[in-house]
Amino acid sequence: MIGTYIGTERVVIAIDGEESEASLESFAGMSAACHVLVPISFDLAAVADSLARLQQLGLDAQAFHDVAAFGTAALALSGTTLFIELEEEVAATARIVVVDGVARRQTLLQRVRVGRRALRGAWIDLIAESMVLAHRFDPLHDHDSEKRLASLLWDAARHASEEGSVVVTLPTPRGDCSIRLTRDQFAVRAAPIYRELSGMLHELRPAASRVDLLVAEQDLILPGFVEMLAEFRGCRVLGFRYESLAMAASMQANRAGETGDVLLLRGTAIGEAIAQARMVELPQLGSARISPTHVLWNADVKPLIVDSVVEIGRDVTEGGLSLPEGLAGVSRWHCSLRVTALSTELIDHSRHGTWLNDERVMGRVEVFAGDRIRIGDPGIELTLLAIERAHGAPAR
């Protein structure tokens, strides 16, 4: 059985549980059976194009699998998984939820023009601008230098990520020109693209919940990428290889004798783990988080008293934070803050939703100083503060 991942940039093949260097074309005319993994950003038209390609080669496509749901099942993950994908033109994220032993894709978000092509363009501009400043040489105005730059770009970015900096050398009519670029310079140029990814992940993750983030190893080596993921405190990051998933696909059952329809599966039953992933160690951001002592809204600072509940909405009890009438999407009793000596919890009571740091609250979640609460549409924002006593200790 052939297992293959067909993306917009690369095709990965495995045969009977083993990696293969063969191409799909090498199986032309053999009527070989295959299970196909496709990117989460593929729509039905893209899947149909892939099927037509396989049929032209005479391959027997057994089924097409959503790579996020299949990967979650192949790794035998549980709960909620967020899958991150960087294709050539598109960045996409998907939420996979395991229910009754089946991993299913629940939600998909994607952004066009923020994929690997956008990263390539940002980093090529960085190198070109640095060359102009250092040597008054613009490689984008020289055909040979531009081709050379395109060929070395990804290796340069990877080296900068792993070693902290990289020397980029390009030929010019006056001889070779060299510049040194740091990991941070690459990361800063990639920041707008990473913000799009981060925003999609925040939108898919229930507020402050501990989910698994499933990321391709080829993306984890991009400068600044792991640092972007570090903001998702408490989450586990798993780095996978498409080769490992293709091997798992090559061990799927042959559907010979079943209906001739080719299935597109966005759900996969979970059994024992048949693929491998690497646990990624994330950098630590800042110091330990502390409980808030006050909530701030519109210059109104309200203390959070231990063993109390602060109601927030348009019609709340005495001691609560009362919001004016006429705010769209704000309930009479919208949410509340439950304060104890050990922690502070945000509890959502509304039909319209409450957001913590741009993630929707599902029930209740612990909050900390510096967190932002958003309610309503377009929304008002409350900020949680930790205010010290006069002698410098936290209020609690």
In the chain, the domains with their CATH numbers are: 2-70+242-278 (no CATH), 294-385 (2.60.200.20)
Cβ contacts of 56 within 8 Å, gap of 6 or more = none
User: What mean pLDDT value characterizes the chain?
Assistant: 92
**Token pair recorded at residue 76:** 């035998």
Task: Please report, to the nearest 10 degrees, the dihedral formed by the alpha carbons of residues 170, 173, 176, 180 taken in order.
Answer: -50
Q: Let me know: does 396 contact 293? Beta carbons within 8 Å.
A: yes
Mean per-residue pLDDT for 34-59?
95
Total residue length of the chain: 396
Report the candidate in 173, 194, 193, 181 with the shortest Cα–Cα distance to residue 152. Answer: 181
Mean per-residue pLDDT for 311-333?
92
**Token pair recorded at residue 10:** 């690369």
Mean per-residue pLDDT for 265-285?
91
**Token pair recorded at residue 48:** 């149909």
pLDDT at 16 over 90: yes
Mean per-residue pLDDT for 64-83?
97
Q: Which residues pair with 96 in a beta bridge?
A: 81, 105
pLDDT value for 300: 84
pLDDT at 159 over 70: yes
Q: Which residue has the higher pLDDT, 287 or 364?
A: 364
Question: What is the spatial distance between Cα 383 and Cα 296, in angstroms, rounded to a whole number?
Answer: 5
pTM assigned to the model: 0.88
pLDDT value for 256: 65
Give CA angle at 148 (145, 151), nearest 5°: 150
How does 192-223 read in b/e, with b if 16+ C-beta sit within 10 Å? Answer: ebbebbbebbbebbbbbbebbbbbbbbbbbbb
Return phi, psi of residue 33, to 5°.
-85, 145
Mean per-residue pLDDT for 190-201?
96
Continuous segment of H or E residues that includes residue 355: strand 354-356
**Token pair recorded at residue 68:** 């996020």
Mean per-residue pLDDT for 68-76?
98
Question: What is the spatial distance between Cα 230 and Cα 217, in angstroms, rounded to a whole number?
Answer: 16
Provide, for the chain, the percentages of residues in helix, strand and coil under a 3-state DSSP scheme, each rounded to the nearest 5: 25, 35, 40
How does 119-154 read in b/e, with b if 16+ C-beta sit within 10 Å? Answer: beebbbebbbebbeeebebebeebeebbebbeebbb
Q: Let me know: does 123 contact 185? Beta carbons within 8 Å.
A: no
Mean per-residue pLDDT for 361-385?
92
Report the candidate in 326, 325, 379, 370 with the shortest Cα–Cα distance to residue 352. Answer: 379
User: Rg of the Cα trace of the chain?
Assistant: 25
pLDDT tens column, 90-144: 999 999 999 999 999 999 999 999 999 999 999 999 999 999 999 999 999 988 8
Percentage, residues of the chain above pLDDT 90: 83
pLDDT value for 6: 97
Identify the top-confidence range among 161-165, 263-267, 384-388: 161-165
Report the candidate in 355, 359, 380 with the shortest Cα–Cα distance to residue 300. Answer: 380
> Residue 329 gets which letter from DSSP?
T
Q: Let me know: does 99 contact 78? Beta carbons within 8 Å.
A: no
pLDDT value for 254: 87
